[in-house]
Amino acid sequence: MDIPTTTHSLAGVRVVDAASLAAGPLVATWLGELGAEVVKIEQPDGGDALRQWGAQKDGVGLMWKSLGRNKKSVTLNLRTERGREILRDLARGADVLIMNMRPSTMTRWGIDYASMSAVNSGLVMLHVTGFGAGGPKSDHPGFGTLGEAMSGFAHMTGEPDGPPTLPSFMLGDGVAALNATYAVLAALYHRDVHGAPGQLIDINLIEPLARLLEQPVLTYDQFGTIPTRSGNRWDISAPRNTYRTKDDRWLAMSGSAPSIAMRALRAVGRADLTTDPRFAEAQQRLRHAAEIDAVIAEWIADHTLDEAMSVFEEAQVAAAPVYDAEQLLADPQLRARNVYRTIPDPQLGELTVQGPVPVLTATPGRIDHLGPELGAHTAEVLGEHLGLTDADLQALRAEGVI
């Protein structure tokens, strides 16, 4: 039976991305890959701070180029009442509005959920903040780093005798954005399938990451103990670590499933340990994790990465090389799946970026273009969506609204 499909999963959905930095804009990026029309609202004086994040080439931010893909950039000074008026007009015809201002600022400016839903009852508003609505910190500014610290992530990451360790990438923002994206899709489904109005989605940068780190809370609740850092080892899996090879490269291994752990022992020539009660039974193996780890590390240290991987792949052991960016791009599995794509760009010539994730067979994600120049679509969007004329736009520019 043939199932009719549209070209893109979210064709016909209009998103107004009035957030800045990472979490909120990431949600808009992913919705845009799925086919939504994304109007990116930016302040005229510099735009989204994402444009200045990370590596720059000739003054062009590479991270912005990827995260700004498929978006239409519209400059709009929300510090002016006229700018906020235009935002309300855009929200009137939108399905999703993404914001990340402080709650008090949104209320004072009349662009909070109550105000926006009054002009569009079907609007789904996503509000991303550092700490979430309610509570003594609800109006405090917050960034992913604070979420990574307060979620418990930093406490659990690093070597046992080292300091709490923060990630060198936007983990807190990314995990929050993933949670927020499925929340937006759920809210749209609730609206469109059940005939309900839109709703407000309240998400912060602590709770989504804390949800993935729930094990320490469960342990504390039941035993009163606080887990500590264990480097690359994990107290629910053995062997599990990164191991240095003979040719000074690194290999990672996971023995989370008992059958995989037994395969690893046999692969390194220690089949005798598979019948030893200290290593054959899962809980006992965890109690003797340091010993089994030493066995694996010693064997790997005597082999090159290619030699070790050949043995482990033959034995179907869960092992993988630790890649840098060059190796990641060269991996034959990822190349076969067309994970990284070179996209033409008027500013950079071209840029290699990762394609949409996950892969949908009937309605695959898209990359129509990379992040545009600031305000590149202001005239187009305000003209087509709101009917503003060239004279209107000229006046708005003179007033500093766009």
**Residue bearing the bigger pLDDT, 293 or 65:** 65
The beta-carbon contacts of 226-233 under 8 Å, at least 24 apart in sequence, are: 227/156, 228/155, 228/156, 228/160, 229/155, 229/156, 229/157, 229/158, 229/159, 229/160, 229/162, 229/164, 229/165, 230/160, 231/158, 231/159, 231/160, 233/289, 233/293
- Residue 398, C-beta contacts closer than 8 angstroms, at least 6 positions apart: none
The beta-carbon contacts of 207-215 under 8 Å, at least 24 apart in sequence, are: 207/132, 207/151, 208/175, 208/176, 208/178, 208/179, 209/147, 209/148, 209/151, 209/153, 209/171, 209/172, 209/175, 209/176, 210/150, 210/151, 210/152, 211/179, 212/175, 213/151, 213/152, 213/153, 213/156
pLDDT the model gives residue 286: 74
Task: Check if 192 is active-site.
Answer: no
Q: Does 330 fall in a domain? A: no
Query: Does residue 278 sit in the same domain as residue 360?
Result: no
- Examine the pLDDT at 282 and tell me if it is beyond 90: no
The pTM for the full model equals: 0.92
Tally of structural domains, the chain: 2
Query: Does residue 168 sit in the same domain as residue 46?
Result: yes
CA distance 277 to 195: 59
Q: Which amino acid is at 111?
A: I
Query: Does residue 300 sit in the same domain as residue 384?
Result: no
Q: Does 175 fall in a domain? A: yes
Domain endpoint, select from 263, 294, 321: 321
The predicted-structure confidence for 14-61, as pLDDT tens digits, reads as follows 999 999 989 999 999 999 999 999 999 999 999 999 999 999 999 999
Query: Does residue 73 sit in the same domain as residue 157?
Result: yes
Query: Does residue 198 sit in the same domain as residue 132?
Result: yes
CA distance 177 to 208: 9
- Examine the pLDDT at 4 and tell me if it is beyond 60: no
Query: Does residue 313 sit in the same domain as residue 352?
Result: no
Query: Does residue 317 sit in the same domain as residue 346?
Result: no
If you average pLDDT over residues 341-345, what whole number do you get?
97
Query: Does residue 278 sit in the same domain as residue 175?
Result: no
| CA angle 211–216–220, rounded 5-degree value | 125
Query: Does residue 32 sit in the same domain as residue 85?
Result: yes
**Residue 35: domain span:** 14-211+339-398
Q: Does 225 fall in a domain? A: no
Confidence of residue 6 (pLDDT cuts 50, 70, 90): low
Query: Does residue 68 sit in the same domain as residue 19?
Result: yes
Q: Can you give the CATH number for the domain in which 293 is found?
A: 3.30.1540
Q: Does 287 fall in a domain? A: yes
Confidence of residue 1 (pLDDT cuts 50, 70, 90): very low
Q: Which of 48, 173, 202, 293 is catalytic?
A: 173
Q: Can you give the CATH number for the domain in which 41 is found?
A: 3.40.50.10540
Query: Does residue 87 sit in the same domain as residue 187?
Result: yes
